[in-house]
Structure 1
């Protein structure tokens, strides 16, 4: 028995010895790569094919071997979602010549022993989380041809030793935190073809003159590098240069002549500097030039004829001081798709054949002195999308050919001398969302074909000579948010179908000849913010349902023939302006309006004010002059007595209130108030506190008239927190200065304020549903269905768009987040908390802030390291809010690790699909619409500010998201093939 067992064990041992080579057959390079795998976190199992039982790694994903020697020559792990420090085991692969870890989460600093990767020719570590300084040792990799470290968090100086590279062709350090100066030693890299250093917060410096030695350079990208002084005359030897981008710096002077000698130049971007002098004639020598942007400078003179004769695709010369005509030679280019010349002093006629030979897409010549007819062939190639001609002197008719231009989406012809009737087809262009014809001499009527303009959102045709009735078909434009047709000659009744326009926010048909009654069902216009029908011939009663319009704050029905009493329901409105004067109204005033401040709202109604006749004075003739003299003396005596009593009362009140820390004499109102400020001063008790933050406490105060207000009491002293207000004083003054000047349905109303040395109070309208952040993530968390979330996103976007585009100067909020979006009783959104807001000076460089302002998770990446504020920072923050609404997750969820919400969404969509990024509570009913809104959020959170759409465009994209019928999967949301193992 023992011998049999011995023989069995012996055979088993022999079998194991035979299998041992098969089990441990992986070659040395494979073992090194196994060490790489062990050193990295691989949450998506992208390295699952790296099997240690293989004899060679050549079939592993991302690994490329030489076909003869079977040695590893390249490793490409792009988009593998790997995390951890840089694995130096790569450097032990003797034949490795190319390594790419693009778009992962490689973190920590780059080790000095990376120099041991001596055989590398290509090293791409872009779009990771590498930090610290760039190692000098990289220059010891003598064979390196491409070095891409863009999109990381490297700081400090660019190593001077980089000038020792002898074979480097591409150096890309874009979008890091490099804060030294640009070293002139880079000019020693004679082999360099692409040098990209854009979007770094470098110290103020000049363009190194040594760059003139880079004779093989094809791409030079130095945008947003804090460059100053003149552009050096160093380009004479760069005969191969194709793309030159020096935009968004502080360069001054004129464009050097040496640039005009670059025969290979395809694209030149010098916009947003301070370049002076005449337009350089030498640019016309650049026969290869396709795209030129020298906008937002101070160039003078005329546009060279030879420049326009080039085969251009894009010509941007806007915001300069150019004069004279646009050369006829511009029509020769078969490629021209973008022509932007706005804000100059150009004159003459546009070339009659403009657009005939080229697929023109964007044309903007606004704010010039152009005259003559609009060219007939602008849309000859059927590509024209934007036609902007405002503030010129164009005359004649709108060309009939534009009525056939179905590609048009944005048309602005305001303030010209256009006349004649508008072509019928032009009214019905189905892609147009903005049609602006204000301040011309256009006549005729609105065609019934307007029913085809299904995408129309804004129709502005005021100050023309339009006549006839407004067609019923206008009520089918479901996307219409603004209809402005004042100062025309429209007659007949207001179409009853207007009440079907559920998105309508502004209706202005004042100064026409409209008659009949106001349409029934007007209470259905729940988004209506402004209603102006003044100076018409309207009759009948004022509908009581107007009082049910939740966001109406401007109502003007003056100078009509309206009769009957004023509906009591109008007291439900929170109006900034009310005018019912010069009608035939009668009866008593509603109690809320029986106040002196509303006197001018009711003048010229003889039968009105029976209960308060003093508020509606009427001039009576034939009275005895002596009687009026005695009456005046008597009234004067009463006034003197009243002033004395009031003076004593105020002194006594001031004495009492100062004892409590509130000086009621320092109140300032911004709206007509239906309550007394004194009520506020005595109502701030701790049992009414509904919130507390970095700047102060918020109280809910119920007033005697039943109205509810929110009162913010700012902390005393200089209580500050990181990333909050610069100081209490700055925050208070910023909020008062901002909210005291603006009026919009999606901006929270500041009723009044109190500012004394002892106390600072801000009194707002009360938002019963609190903040969006609270409802999504906070103590009041509750489920919000998708229509509600979409409504919040669109409302907030319209408020921000108003701040950025309709305020003068524009306003940047600087602290957009879900907690600063408040919701009314119907979940209408208001942008709030303007303690960090800044006015932007148009045409000037943005000034850096002293500290980072904003809230963690919402701060745009470039703002965090440049401290420069502009609208793009708000757009990034708003994009994070959109992602919150879609995903239901806060921007700094612990699950994200080192990533933020935007990165998490990208990763989840790429590896697990769109459905995994969306809040599962939303269900599938609105899936396509949610996909489109998610795409808007990702556009807004683009890492490069230039790629983010304007807020006006964001509003349009959100509106399209709810009506779009084509597939929702956009180019940003492409599923990666590297996630097959999930």
Structure 2
């Protein structure tokens, strides 16, 4: 009898499980459709509850699927149109699955909330559906390295939030679409920073309408297409541009002279076209690292003198450009010069590198010219490779420079500090000398700023940055190895990458997909001198948990299992029913909390009224706990009087910093409410963004955008490993000033920060300055706009003495603090150091009749060689105006911004470019694990002014 009842009980049991599933039924059905259309779907895609049972690659929020990240897991098949039913989907990354083929379904455009569509290195074909233009929230669109054909859809121009557009390495054809009155075009993407269209079959002219002065483009990559016509002069309007690749097309006509106005461009590739006319004068391109104008038909010309004035030049490639005459010695004295390649020209006379040639110089290649003699004034150029083959000087000579060179690729491999063991044939020894199965692939850097591939520190910096990215995202990575750097036929730098697992020597699918996502989503930011990159993964066949089990089982085993199941089913029914009831209650509580997220706001703790928010997201405690890996020690990145700061990763892949108040403490409650209210209202590129907050289960947490390069204080002290020359400090000063100006003038209501200091100015990945930490800030209401009476708060050394004496807070108090910050930028000294106050020290030492105002002993030695004449003196004048004793004598922040812009123009910089140059020299990886959101100052002051705290402890 029991055997007859058992099947019915199982049916009831399964039905109860379906009812109890927390995954939205529509989302579950869509995932089932994906699973049925794919081979090699993850083996744990079983059951009816993807969210509750943790299907590999599936991220959920409140029962809805919000992310699918399945990079490098061996998927094959097609993407069905049912994917459009995942209406809450934010991220879709299926990269590095070459078996995914066919066209993208048109219904994919119905994913209205999608922010990231990443399909790098798959086998998709057909046309890119124009329905993509319906994804108005799309931020990242990466379809590179597939087999897409046909035109670029006009509709992509209708994506207002698009930041990253990569369509490279496909078979796209037709012209570049621009708006025409009836259809949008790429000229409308003024917020997009990346146009990556290389290695396609695009044809026609580059539309002049495509570019304008209000665009934010950083990378314009059009190499290796079939483009014709002239280079439009409108390219010279994009002041933010840093990489420009137009090589390997059929462009003709002269190079627009206004390209010299692109002062932020670091890599310029114009080679292998039909360009003619005179060689362009690029004198103004002071940031230029890499210049290649080879294989064009320019007019015959002597060696251009302006090339020797480019201070940042590392690589000059001008093969077959009709150069004649001699090469000046001054060229070789450029401090960063590594390679000079001038093959197949008419260079003659005597080649001499001079006695002050660059310490970085590695290659001088003048093959097939008419050089008649060679002078070695320095008495031996050491490791520099000189190539003079097929010049008159080499007729009958056997000198080393007359021997045809061999292909010179670097044999670099990441070194290990131990004796690598003998591993089995299918395993590899890691740099930490562990035998494992690594995840492998190739990194392609599309425009590196260097050409010497033998520099050990260059690749060590890349390795360290890779490990920092993997560790900061809590990925199961033990170590990484880089090897075999070389230049391919596209002039890309290629590097073999091996990523080694921690633990048992294998990756599982979750680990592989997370690593692939970090590389496909551009979460990994290489050192700036490597430039834009993409990654191609090899297949991974060593997943843990993939042991095949036999499908055969004995009848006796089946009977035992059947009896066990039947005997347990009644108990399971009770447990499931109870669990379902509890879950329904919990879901109701969550729903109520989201309807009124401040229902539990506790006014008894002097928190004030419920915060008035504009856009900040309310996170539950469980969500933040999940994003920070249960507030793990590895994610602990700083602490201060407020509490601790943790790194976290949202389901979208966004990196955040979570500022968690000390448990059970009321300290900082008002500051918590203040920051929520103020930051939710301010939106400016020079003000740190508030993602959300958590006020749940007695916790007070603020969730910020993560700013990767730390505080200005860390960079000035050398702690961050970032070297700030004078030009970069000017840009940082301008960015911080604009952020404060926004708070004073444009925020609604206006805001006085009250704690401007170098520890509260953060630097993003491009060294943009962002003003942070609004815990002490005060909003100014209209009736009380000019004076705010308040308890004195601030940081010693930066505090306005007038504010301290009168307790009257105005915007001019922030101006005073900013003036101290300007002096800190000049000296790299703390405001109060060994009992000496920087404002007083500058005033005592200053003598306007002398060079640099006689401040040489106080100026940071790092900037001395890069200071433009007159700019530092004006900067000091501005700083001292800001720290005038009476607020009425200080400038407004609007006036400060204008003066810094004027100083930048005096120094030869364009103040309207969006960010600092990304060719910044990093002297090493970031040191330590402190994070910019931690308030670790020892001088935070509230109340009386204790003299005992004037010096650091």
TM-score using structure 1 length: 0.42
Q: Flag the structure with more relative contact order, 1 or 2, with Cα contacts below 8 A and sequence separation at least 6.
A: 2
